[in-house]
């Protein structure tokens, strides 16, 4: 309990881990709670790049201790998170992340993992609760299919769906249906995510959504979200300068049977 008070003091945790075996057992889960890696390694930070950090943690048997995993990748094609970053050995080490509860993936190239996406990310399915996707690549059905891998998903963040200068939205496959319909009962955050009909398809394929808290900016289907969560929504955060704000025309009457208890940065009319 005492060591738990030091979870944000890395130097003290390191000192505790070197004191004795029992202190090591108490401090090491806090030291390796979060694992952050980068798709591109510079000379001065190669130890935190992919897959060096993963391999080093695997040698020490630390990967099962990770509760929060973040994979940062740039938008350049050769730096994105794609299947070519995994060989058999790296995939075996990656699969040792069996207790991750918070997952963040930047510039995930979903089509490169299809149709064997479960082979790469299926081990996250039982444990992940919050999912953060920044600039995911793929059609709207592929994005929904990926979200549907996580059977107990509660919180979802979708950030930036813009394509590159020479890219266009991939052709959709209407026959692609998600493996699970996650509960989605926590928090939804969407910033500048303008995939046409993505949210509509997600609501249809998941049998509805039941978020209690929502925050969005520049989302064309905002009214659809509010209507879908009318029975469960408790708080909503909007932004006065939202380009889509004029389309909302929010009134309490649009959320029957539900009283929004609190809102931050409201637009006019909320």
pLDDT in tens, 87-145: 999 999 999 999 999 999 999 999 999 999 999 999 999 999 999 999 999 999 999 99
Model-level pTM? 0.85
Owner of token pair 């040792």: 96
- pLDDT, residue 125, reads 97
* 91/137 Cα distance (integer angstroms): 21
* 209/188 Cα distance (integer angstroms): 10
Strand ranges (DSSP E) for 14-60? 34-38
Report the share of the chain in percent with pLDDT over 70: 84
Summarize the confidence of residues 223-251 as an average pLDDT. Answer: 81
* 101/130 Cα distance (integer angstroms): 7
- pLDDT, residue 172, reads 76
More confident residue, 137 or 171: 137
- pLDDT, residue 44, reads 47
- pLDDT, residue 64, reads 95
pLDDT at 270 over 60: no
More confident residue, 17 or 46: 17
Q: What tens digit of pLDDT does each residue of 199-211 get?
A: 999 999 999 999 9
Q: Which residues make beta-bridge pairs with 215?
A: 189, 237
**Closest to 59 in 3D by CA, of 98, 93, 18:** 93
């Amino acid at each position: 309990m005492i060591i738990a008070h030091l979870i944000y003091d890395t130097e003290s945790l390191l000192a505790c881990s070197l004191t004795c075996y029992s202190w090591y057992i108490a401090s090491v889960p806090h030291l390796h709670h979060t694992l952050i890696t980068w798709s591109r390694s510079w000379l001065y930070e190669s130890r935190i790049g992919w897959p060096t950090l993963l391999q080093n943690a695997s040698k020490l048997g630390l990967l099962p201790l990770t509760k929060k995993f973040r994979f940062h990748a740039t938008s350049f094609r050769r730096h994105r998170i794609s299947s070519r970053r995994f060989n058999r050995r790296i995939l075996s080490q990656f699969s040792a992340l069996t207790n991750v509860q918070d997952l963040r993936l930047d510039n995930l190239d979903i089509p490169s993992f299809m149709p064997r996406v479960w082979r790469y990310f299926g081990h996250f399915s039982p444990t992940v609760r919050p999912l953060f996707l920044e600039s995911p690549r793929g059609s709207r059905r592929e994005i929904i299919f990926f979200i549907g891998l996580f059977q107990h998903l509660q919180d979802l963040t979708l950030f930036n769906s813009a394509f590159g200068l020479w890219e266009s939205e991939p052709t959709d496959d209407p026959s692609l249906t998600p493996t699970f319909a996650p509960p989605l009962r926590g928090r939804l955050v969407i910033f500048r995510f303008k995939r046409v009909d993505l949210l509509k398809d997600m609501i249809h394929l998941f049998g509805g959504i039941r978020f209690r808290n929502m925050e969005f900016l520049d989302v064309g289907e905002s009214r659809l979200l509010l209507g879908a969560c009318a029975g469960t929504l408790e708080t909503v955060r909007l932004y006065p300068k939202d380009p889509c704000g004029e389309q909302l025309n929010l009134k309490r009457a649009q959320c029957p049977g539900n009283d929004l208890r609190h809102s931050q940065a409201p637009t006019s009319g909320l």
